[in-house]
């Protein structure tokens, strides 16, 4: 009798196991259909939105590795995106930042000595072509084994980033990839650079080039994060009216450059530069608009988004 009971139990549990296995297989085999949607040149269509709900890593055609040109594969649940602004200083958000599935930073913003405010993990850095030489000042730190598998996504104009041997910055990255074969270095494709320009034109009605401006690393970071993160938690970014608000806090433009020009002075200088400036304030207006349709939240300072 006991033997029969045992047999029944084995059959029942095998059945349960088989059904679970089937459910798992069906789930996994469905995901690629969502992941094959092309991303480039799409506006915020319902199909684009639907990709938010699926956090399986899809190869992104806008970013290719150096030198092999493999597509960037990445996906995160919650992303902490840490701005390089002095706003982060003294807020003690480090532990909260580190709790996210992925921690993103920009350029060469350090964590050492600032862990309490900015956290210590780094999964990805979005890097301006102009900051690449700064990373190469500390190649072991950024690209060696101590870099903990950090992914680098570099953006820049074609003249610097061309892989045909004439791109000064691309050549530097290529040498870094030779020296550190395990470094995960990606560059933004020409098509993706154009896409980011077109987003600026669509959102502001102004042509990025004829209006004499450069997009900021923050712009490229948010566009990438909207594709890769299910939820974005942005730390230390001010809103578009901050510098006009009464008694605003004067902080260094970069948290790691004490004594540099204060953030608002830098922003206003750039916003009004006839050429060669970043339109930081205009970009913030656009970010607020994106945050209405995407899961983006801003902390330290907090943004009131209706």
Ligand X SMILES: *[C@@H]1O[C@H](CO)[C@@H](O)[C@H](O)[C@H]1NC(C)=O
- Closest to ligand X by CB, 220 or 303: 303
Tokens of 97: 């930042």
Rounded to 5 degrees, φ, ψ at 209 are: -75, -50
Least spacing, CB of residue 201 vs ligand X, in Å = 24
Angle (CA) 149-152-158 rounded to 5° is: 155
Least spacing, CB of residue 209 vs ligand X, in Å = 29
Rounded Cα distance between 254 and 269, Å, is 15
Least spacing, CB of residue 119 vs ligand X, in Å = 10
- Closest to ligand X by CB, 141 or 250: 141
Least spacing, CB of residue 86 vs ligand X, in Å = 14
Least spacing, CB of residue 179 vs ligand X, in Å = 16
- Closest to ligand X by CB, 69 or 99: 99
- Closest to ligand X by CB, 45 or 306: 306
Tokens of 184: 């995960």
Question: Which are the contacts of 27, defined by CB distance < 8 A and separation ≥ 6?
Answer: none
Least spacing, CB of residue 59 vs ligand X, in Å = 25
Rounded Cα distance between 8 and 1, Å, is 11
> Angle between the 280-293 and 263-272 helix axes, to the nearest 10 degrees?
100
Residues that bind ligand X (CB under 6 A): 111-112, 120, 122, 141, 146-148, 239, 241-242, 245, 301, 303-304
Q: What 3-state DSSP class applies to 73? A: strand
Strand runs labelled E in 131-217: 151-155, 184-188, 213-214
Question: Which are the contacts of 108, defined by CB distance < 8 A and separation ≥ 6?
Answer: 127, 131, 134, 135, 142
- Closest to ligand X by CB, 111 or 216: 111
- Closest to ligand X by CB, 50 or 148: 148
């Amino acid at each position: 009798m006991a033997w029969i009971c045992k047999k029944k139990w084995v059959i029942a549990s095998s059945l349960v196991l088989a059904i679970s296995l089937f459910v798992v297989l069906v789930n996994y085999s469905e995901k690629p259909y969502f992941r094959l949607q092309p991303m480039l040149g799409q506006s915020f269509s319902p199909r684009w939105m639907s990709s938010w709900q699926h956090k399986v890593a899809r190869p992104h055609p806008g970013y290719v590795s150096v030198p092999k040109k493999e597509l960037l594969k990445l996906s995160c649940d919650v992303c902490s995106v840490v701005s390089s602004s002095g706003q982060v200083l003294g807020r003690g958000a480090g532990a909260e930042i580190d709790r996210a599935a992925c921690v993103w930073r920009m350029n060469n913003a350090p964590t050492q000595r600032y862990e309490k405010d900015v956290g210590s993990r780094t999964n990805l850095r979005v890097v301006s072509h102009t900051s690449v030489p700064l990373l190469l000042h500390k190649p072991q730190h950024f690209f060696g084994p101590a870099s903990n598998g950090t992914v680098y996504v570099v953006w820049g104009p074609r003249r610097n980033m061309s892989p045909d041997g004439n791109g000064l910055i691309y050549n530097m990255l290529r040498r870094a990839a030779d020296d550190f074969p395990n470094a995960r270095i990606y560059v933004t494709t020409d098509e993706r650079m154009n896409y980011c320009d077109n987003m600026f034109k669509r959102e502001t009605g102004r042509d990025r080039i004829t209006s004499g401006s450069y997009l900021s690393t923050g712009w490229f970071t948010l566009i990438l994060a909207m594709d890769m993160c299910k939820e974005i938690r942005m730390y230390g970014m001010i809103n578009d009216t901050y510098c006009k608000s009464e008694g605003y806090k004067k902080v260094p433009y970069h948290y790691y450059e004490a004594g540099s020009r204060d953030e608002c002075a830098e922003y206003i200088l750039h916003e009004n530069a006839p050429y060669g400036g970043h339109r930081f304030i205009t970009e913030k207006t656009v970010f607020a608009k994106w945050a209405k349709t995407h899961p983006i939240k801003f902390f330290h300072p907090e943004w009131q988004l209706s």
